[in-house]
Structure 1
Amino acid sequence: MNKGKSTTSTSTVSKGAEGRRRINIQQVQNVLLIWLDNNIDKTNVDCQNTITKLRRAVNDINTYTNGDKCLEFIQTIVDKKVCIIISGSLGQQIVRRVHNMSQVDSIFIFCGNKKLHEQWSKD
């Protein structure tokens, strides 16, 4: 392999990767993360640590323990895309209600029993 071609190729890939990183950072800044879980307790150290780690990726984080209040909030959003992390226990009732909302970009089910929630989450 010619070293010159390899270097040029690597340089081109690096520039492309830098561009993608810049785009990804802009996209993350336009994303609102919502964490919906009955068990969120902001006084709990584990919960605080989780929120801190999530803030490293996304600045705008809202937490909810009440599904209806969360849905009301999502309906008010106009200029951002919403990414939802939802507990399995709330997911079955809430996901079908938010799935087709234009604001909602992605939904992540956070649960300890994958088998229990697998079927409804596929539907």
Structure 2
Amino acid sequence: MGEYSKALEYYEKYLEITKISLPPTHPDLASSYGCIGGVYSSMGEYSKALDYYEKSLKIREISLSPSHPDLAGSYLCFAGCYEKMGDYTAALKALQNAYKIQQKTFQEGNPAFGFTFSRYGRVYRDLKEYSKALSYFEKCLEIDRKTLPEKHPDFGIDYSNIGDVHRLMGDYERALAFHQKALNIQENVKCNPLECATTYMNLGETYREMKDYTTALTYYQK
């Protein structure tokens, strides 16, 4: 939490400087508000995060074209925050707004779509609409396969997400296969340690649901 407080302090100082030196609708101000919103979201202070995201969005709506990718970025920030709050209806609406802008801005297969599809997948997984979640996670994987090098860390996230949905659908064989693919990447490239931990937990959950408690415990303890 201390690191978030420091980040917040620096962002707020920068915001004060930009308020003095730039016009009130300058895009850099929108970025500053968005960064502060992101810190509050990470701290779990979602109401404050939404307030700052709203300030950022209003500036971008005034200063940028309706198809500018930063507008899509604002809606994706809203979507992430609403997802954490459990307001999935609002999250889906924000994702739809982001996706509409991206369709006007990017060609099919652009990596930006992959991120949005992944967010869709997460929301539908939370809603227990597993077929839709799986479809979006697979779309994300398809884009990543076309745009990223073979051992890119993002594949670990893709495989882990797909494996988790298969587990939730009760297809344990496929779940284990995808989690193992994720682990093969995460243990052999520089990844966020939390991503490895998530895959270990997912493997543990899968084996637990299969009633293989010894193997489950092995992964829980990693």
Q: Same fold (TM over 0.5)?
A: no
Q: Which has the higher helix share?
A: 2
Q: Which protein, 1 or 2, shows the higher relative CO under an 8 Å CA cutoff with sep ≥ 6? A: 1
- The TM-score normalised by the length of structure 1 is 0.32
Q: Which has the higher strand share?
A: 1
